[in-house]
Amino acid sequence: LHFLQRENQYYPTPAKLIGEILDEYRYRNNIFEFGDLEEINFLEPCAGDGAICREVQAYFKEREMKINIECLEVEKILRDGLKGQGFKVVGENFEEFTSHPFYNLIIMNPPFSKGDEFLLRAYNLLNADGRLICILNAETIRNPCNKGRELLTGLIKRTDGDVQYIKDAFKDANRKSGVEIAVVYLKKPTYENEFDAFGEIQSSIMTDEEKLIDEIKQKIEGNQIMRADKIDNAMGLYRNAVKQIFQGINTIQQIKTGLSYLNDEAKEFNLKIEDFIKIMLKNNSEEAKEETIKGIRKMAWSYVLKFCNMDGYLFHKQRKEFYTQLDKFSASLPFTKSSILQFFDNLFQKRNEYFKEGIIDLFEEITSRHNGNPYHQEGWKT
């Protein structure tokens, strides 16, 4: 693989280094406490021979945590090797790779000459509350001599990230190097995929919504799952509530006020103002925003479901389980118009599957055995 090393700065990551990085970040930030996630979506953008993928797979298997591993690799011979190991290859060149924010965890060892570019690109692929670990040349952090490095330095500071410097990390690797590395640890704020650092709605999200509205909106209205005007109302209320509360959080750090930014529309979510006052008074504004967005998301999804005709698609037991799951995960589910429309579109697409499951549950309930038979023998419950 010597020609790969020359052309693409291919330095396989030593297993020992990967293990130390995983343990260090878990110690620092309790990184792998992913809450109630049933499955972790993981990405390795520069997978090489699969060294990081193998260590991550073993790490989570040992802790009995389910993980979906996806990777990219520019060299065909290495891609074939990754596929042979059973890893899902989703692309070749990471610089051309596009995806919605989806991944809960990204660990990468990109080419040192493009480290800042790759890290910034990977950060945008993280889901809300996602984590990123990236191995860089130490000079990328210490010498912010270009726009990319300046943006990276600002990102680390804004998200309260960590940087660990390690010397001779590759001295015992298959391809040796004496370069000092910097391991960057980042956690993406919950609100960032929908709002920027100043609480304003990101324009890119609005653009993505408009592309989906006409197609999915017709499906939703045609299937009579929910009236489109209720979605519009919910979106307006949600954005106003979050935007105004974020403004309050920023302001209260300076003058300890901000409640005047909450208008009457927010009452539709049954907001308890006294609870948000306590959140706003926190010294750490980032933590305050995290708690606020989770609380309002949960209320907003509940508001939407008030107007959803679930009786036509789910049996009683299924509705109960559905609401339990939604209540559990709604705090981390982005509340955008495309998310709402896609949510109900998926519900309609799976209506036959839900109907079959409901019939099976009903049959099992009707034919369940009953031990109260007066003739002293077990019989079918009627």
126-137 and 162-166 strand pairing: unpaired
Under the banding of pLDDT at 50, 70 and 90, the label for residue 208 is very low
What was the pLDDT predicted at 270?
A: 55
Do 253 and 179 share a domain, yes or no? Answer: no
What was the pLDDT predicted at 381?
A: 52
In the block, which residue shows the tokens 């040349």? 137
Tokens linked to 240: 């106003």
Percentage of the chain lying above the pLDDT 70 cut: 60
What was the pLDDT predicted at 234?
A: 76
Last residue of a domain, one of 139, 164, 188: 188
Residue 92 has pLDDT above 80, yes or no: yes
User: Lowest-pLDDT range, 67-71, 271-275, 280-284?
Assistant: 271-275
What was the pLDDT predicted at 141?
A: 94
Do 171 and 209 share a domain, yes or no? Answer: no
Under the banding of pLDDT at 50, 70 and 90, the label for residue 41 is very high
Do 126 and 168 share a domain, yes or no? Answer: yes
What pLDDT, in 10s, does the model give residues 155-187? 999 888 999 998 877 766 555 566 899 999 999
In the block, which residue shows the tokens 């990967």? 18
Q: Is residue 375 part of a domain?
A: no
What was the pLDDT predicted at 259?
A: 41
What pLDDT, in 10s, does the model give residues 330-376? 667 777 877 777 777 776 676 667 667 767 766 666 666 555 545 55
What was the pLDDT predicted at 219?
A: 59
Is the whole-model pTM more than 0.75?
no
The rounded distance, in Å, linking the Cα atoms of 135 and 7 is 19
Do 81 and 215 share a domain, yes or no? Answer: no
Helix (H, G, I), strand (E, B) or coil at 90: strand
What was the pLDDT predicted at 220?
A: 56
Sheet of strand 162-166: strand arrangement: 88-91, 67-72, 40-44, 103-108, 126-137, 181-187, 162-166
Q: Is residue 335 part of a domain?
A: yes
Do 21 and 166 share a domain, yes or no? Answer: yes
Residue 114 has pLDDT above 80, yes or no: yes
Q: How far is the CA of 346 from the CAs of 59, 219, 293, 320, 353, in angstroms?
A: 33, 11, 24, 18, 11
Percentage of the chain lying above the pLDDT 90 cut: 26
Q: What is the 3-state secondary structure (H, E, C) of 111-148?
A: CHHHHHHHHHHHHCCEEEEEEEEEEEEHHHHHCCCCHH
* Domain with 35 in it: 2-188
- H or E segment at 163? strand 162-166
**Residue 350 burial (CB count, 10 A):** 12
Residue 142 has pLDDT above 60, yes or no: yes
Higher pLDDT pick, 206 / 38: 38
Total number of domains constituting the chain: 2
What was the pLDDT predicted at 177?
A: 64
Do 222 and 177 share a domain, yes or no? Answer: no
What was the pLDDT predicted at 267?
A: 52
Higher pLDDT pick, 207 / 283: 283
What was the pLDDT predicted at 257?
A: 46
Under the banding of pLDDT at 50, 70 and 90, the label for residue 110 is very high
In the block, which residue shows the tokens 């809300």? 128
Do 152 and 207 share a domain, yes or no? Answer: no
Contact 338, 194 (CB under 8 A): no
Burial class (CB in 10 A: 0-12, 13-18, 19+), 92: middle
CATH code at position 28: 3.40.50.150
Q: Is residue 194 part of a domain?
A: no
Do 162 and 285 share a domain, yes or no? Answer: no
Q: Is residue 380 part of a domain?
A: no
Q: Is residue 76 part of a domain?
A: yes
Q: Is residue 378 part of a domain?
A: no
Residue 261 has pLDDT above 50, yes or no: no
- H or E segment at 369? strand 369-370
Higher pLDDT pick, 260 / 366: 366
Higher pLDDT pick, 270 / 257: 270
Most confident of 103-117, 242-256, 358-372: 103-117
Do 118 and 234 share a domain, yes or no? Answer: no
User: Lowest-pLDDT range, 12-26, 43-57, 288-302?
Assistant: 288-302
Last residue of a domain, one of 123, 155, 188: 188
Under the banding of pLDDT at 50, 70 and 90, the label for residue 30 is low
Q: Is residue 197 part of a domain?
A: no
What was the pLDDT predicted at 28?
A: 62
Higher pLDDT pick, 357 / 268: 357
Last residue of a domain, one of 161, 188, 215: 188
Q: Taking residues 256-268, report their average pLDDT.
A: 44
Q: Single out the residue of 346, 2, 335, 44 nearest to residue 174, CA to CA.
A: 2
Chain mean pLDDT for the chain: 75
Q: Is residue 193 part of a domain?
A: no
Higher pLDDT pick, 238 / 15: 15
Question: Following DSSP, what letter does each residue of 47-79 receive, concatenated?
Answer: -TTSHHHHHHHHHHHHTT--EEEEEE-S-HHHH
Do 151 and 246 share a domain, yes or no? Answer: no
Helix count (H) and strand count (E) of the chain?
A: 14, 9
Do 210 and 95 share a domain, yes or no? Answer: no
Do 160 and 275 share a domain, yes or no? Answer: no
